[in-house]
Structure 1
């Protein structure tokens, strides 16, 4: 379905906040339920409290919000703080395309790209397939890094 569809990536606005929260909760629910940690109020609060439209990018297909990501430039790396794809659009290479875009951004800045993934999430296998390597394990998350091969 996505192969021939045009994907648009647009800067988020404050007015997008509630739609982004709803998508985050929808995308996170299966992984968090698997570890007994699903709490939609907490998921909402954590995102709202750290929301910065300047670092947030919406992913649209036919003007429909199908995903979003938040990337923050640190002094020594880019940090992918969030990447969520609507479950109805997962498995169609959309996440891979977004990661490719972020890798190009990291490459252009000569910085590694880092992220965290909930330990029990299917996202771990996805990030490993995309060339990320584990660099740390925290209480709930695995931390990964990608950098351009030398």
Structure 2
């Protein structure tokens, strides 16, 4: 993946400038903390929040070579991991700081990654928590439910998929 990918978004509330940079080992703690903040409400709702475990799970899985830091307007704004998988690509750890959520940044970052996977002809899979608002973002970008249980929803996106028309 190219580092330094930038995009512009216009609008009264939009993030005007953002970029992705390769993660470094020094990024693990700020990202683990962000994960704890943004996942807390969903994990508490599901009865699964643990103050230590939420951070440690990220530390244990952190792969700097497959993780990118999202910077918006010159500051740390989030991260995303987009790694090769047997079937194509696996998307995980897409976390954005609360102050940039709802401003189109998540959609812009996701669209950038999906353009790459589409060019590769790669299927993309992810897991999202039941009831998470992020599910709507993924559905808007062509992801569909593969399976689900009481906690997780497994989603898949075929290359070039677009959101199905509303019924």
TM, length-normalised to structure 2: 0.83
Deviations 1:7-57 (A, max 9, x none): 010000001111111111111111112112111200111111111100110
After TM superposition, give the deviation of residue 128 of structure 1 in Å.
Answer: 1.5
Residues 1:9 and 2:9 aligned together: no
Q: List structure 1 segments (4+ residues) > 3 angstroms apart after TM superposition.
A: 1-4
Distance across 2 between alignment mates of 1:2 and 1:10: 23
Indicate the larger mover: 37-46 or 132-141.
132-141
Out of 28, 31, 36, the residue aligned to residue 42 of structure 2 is: 31
Structure with bigger RCO (C-alpha 8 Å, 6+ apart): 1
Match of 2:111 among 100, 103, 125: 100
> What does the per-residue CA deviation read over 1:61-90, in whole Å, with 9 as the maximum and x for residues that have no partner?
233111100111012121002111112211
Hey, what's the Cα distance between the residues in 1 that align with 2:62 and 2:103? 27
Kindly indicate which of the two structures has a greater share of residues assigned to helix. 1
Match of 1:71 in 2: 82
When normalised by structure 1's length, the TM-score is 0.92
Return the alpha-carbon distance in structure 2 between the equivalents of residues 83 and 64 of structure 1: 16
Query: Which consecutive unaligned segments of at least 5 residues does structure 1 have?
Result: none
RMSD of aligned residue pairs (Cα, Å) = 1.7
Structure 2: gaps spanning 5 or more residues:
1-11, 163-167
SS of corresponding position for 2:79: strand
Distance in 2 of aligned mates of 1:65 and 1:139 = 33
Pick from 66, 72, 87 the counterpart of residue 55 of structure 1. Answer: 66
Distance 1:4 1:71, change over 3 A: closer
Classify the secondary structure of the residue corresponding to 1:83.
strand
| Alignment match, 1:135 | 146
